[in-house]
Structure 1
Amino acid sequence: MKQLKLSNQLCFPIYALSRLVTSHYLPLLNELDLTYPQYLVMLLLWEHQTLSVKALGKELRLDSGTLTPLLKRLESKKMIKRVRSKEDERIVNIHLTEQGSQLKIQAADIPNQIQCSMGFTAEEFKTLKSVIGGVLRRHAEE
């Protein structure tokens, strides 16, 4: 049964690469006192300034049960502020604080540091990101 050999699986190299990439982020994020999931939230907020919890969950593919404790920790670190919408109290919007905005400056070189530490050429980086992005976009609605 060749199809059940680990070396013939798609899942394992993706899983192993994910763990490897994340391990390269960890020392850089430790300097910012952020976990990897917190960093992903901050990336979206640096891009958009304010997003609803629902929008963050959709973008990060995380449910509210996973996202809420993560947001509470970021709020306790004074990086974000959670504010209920005045129009619809069921909606909670996430805003960057001044401290959260300032962290962007410290994080600015992380993407370049990751590309270098992983040893990716610019072309490999672009190709890998494009292939993975295409697969994820095709399955975004699932």
Structure 2
Amino acid sequence: MTNQAPEGTGAAAAGSLLIDDQLCFALYAAQRAVTSAYRPVLDELGLTYPQYLVMLVLWERGEIPVKELAAALHLDYGTVSPLLKRLEAAGLLRRERAAHDERSVLVHVTEQGADLRSRAAAVPQALLSGAGLKGDEVARLRGELWRLVERAEGLAARRP
């Protein structure tokens, strides 16, 4: 089955209700396929894909308030909180109230979580090479996707 739209159908597809003409469906299918491709590699680390994303932010930024972590992942607090709870139960991170502001919860990686980073370092290349993607293709695609995120978030912010 191919869901690839024929070249040059952009304008005609704009008003189409065909599933394969929907940008949202192509993004959804791509997201599911990528997440599925990550699953066996992440299973070896004992992480789900969303947990992996949390750990990536923590490895990059160090100690961070939950609010900033949620913003970095484009998620709400209610979605991040259960992820943090499971990662804390696994011993990979710790949550503590900020001394300067009891309302703020800080998250930081434990020693066990820091040790996992070296094992996770092989994940991105394993997926890119497995998918046959080159560096320039990845950079172009990532740039286009971030532009789409920016535009979609702008559109969502303008809606009542």
User: In the TM superposition, what whole-angstrom CA distance separates every residue of 1:65-123 from its partner, at most 9, and x where no partner exists?
Assistant: 11111101100111001010111100000011011011000000111011011121222
Structure 1: runs of 5+ lacking an equivalent? none
Question: Residues 108-119 of structure 1: matches in 2 within 5 Å?
Answer: 108-119=121-132
Q: Which of 124, 134, 137 is the matching residue for 1:121? A: 134
Code of the residue aligned with 1:137 in structure 2: it is E
- Specify which structure has the bigger relative contact order, considering alpha-carbon pairs within 8 angstroms and separated by 6 or more residues: 1
1:125 offset after TM fit, Å?
Answer: 1.1
**How large is the Cα RMSD of the aligned pairs?**
1.6
> Aligned residues, how many?
142
CA distance in 2, matches of 1:79, 1:72: 10
Q: Which residue of 1 aligns with 2:38?
A: 25
Which aligned pairs between 1:52-131 and structure 2 lie closer than 5 A?
Answer: 52-131=65-144
Aligned-residue identity in percent: 44
Match of 1:45 in 2: 58
Q: Which structure has the larger Rg over C-alpha atoms? A: 2
Give the TM-score of the pair, scaled to structure 2.
0.84
Residue deviations 1:26-62 (CA, integer Å, cap 9, x gap): 0011000001111000000000111110001111111
In structure 2, the partner of 1:9 is 22
Provide TM-score, normalisation by structure 1. 0.94
Q: Are the equivalent residues in 2 in contact too, given 1:49–1:96 (CA < 8 A)?
A: yes
Runs of 4+ in 1 over 4 A off after TM superposition: none
Which segments of 5 or more consecutive residues in structure 2 lack a partner in the other structure? 1-12
Tell me if the contact between 1:21 and 1:118 (Cα under 8 Å) persists in the aligned partners.
Answer: no
